[in-house]
């Protein structure tokens, strides 16, 4: 497991879902730029109620910084090119309007 901090912009709206046990969680995507200017998509999941609520307050395109556990992975686009991505279990979120969860 890698602990990390990711800053970028929310891509789309945060989804709230409920698992089979009735516990809610949040799913989101964040676009972040790498040092060489490439876009990197971070797939975010949050289980903490306060973090989920903070993520729900954000809108598409809002700036956001998230800390949590990161898992790097690779995916293949429609042209057959491999692209980097990150999966994150968010433990803390800070949005543009001072939201702190």
**Do 91 and 101 form a contact (C-beta atoms < 8 A)?**
no
State the pLDDT confidence band at 21, using cuts at 50, 70 and 90: very high
pTM: 0.85
Query: Which residue from 50, 54, 42 is spatially nearest to 95, judged by alpha carbons?
Result: 54
48-88 pLDDT tens trace = 999 999 999 999 999 999 999 999 999 898 999 988 889 99
Q: What is the CATH number of the domain that holds 42?
A: 2.40.50.140
For residue 100, is it within any domain? no
Domain containing residue 28: 2-95
For residue 46, is it within any domain? yes
For residue 50, is it within any domain? yes
For residue 101, is it within any domain? no
Query: Which residue from 64, 5, 12, 9 is spatially nearest to 32, judged by alpha carbons?
Result: 9
Number of domains in the chain: 1
For residue 60, is it within any domain? yes
């Amino acid at each position: 497991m890698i602990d990390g901090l990711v800053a970028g912009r929310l891509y789309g709206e945060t989804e709230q879902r409920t698992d089979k046990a009735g516990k809610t969680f949040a799913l989101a995507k964040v676009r972040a730029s790498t040092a060489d200017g490439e876009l990197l998509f971070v797939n975010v999941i949050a289980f903490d109620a306060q973090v989920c609520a903070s993520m729900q307050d954000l809108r598409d395109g809002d700036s956001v910084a998230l800390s949590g556990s990161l898992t790097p992975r690779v995916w293949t686009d429609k042209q057959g090119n491999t692209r980097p991505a990150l999966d994150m279990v968010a433990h803390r979120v800070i949005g543009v309007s001072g939201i702190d969860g």
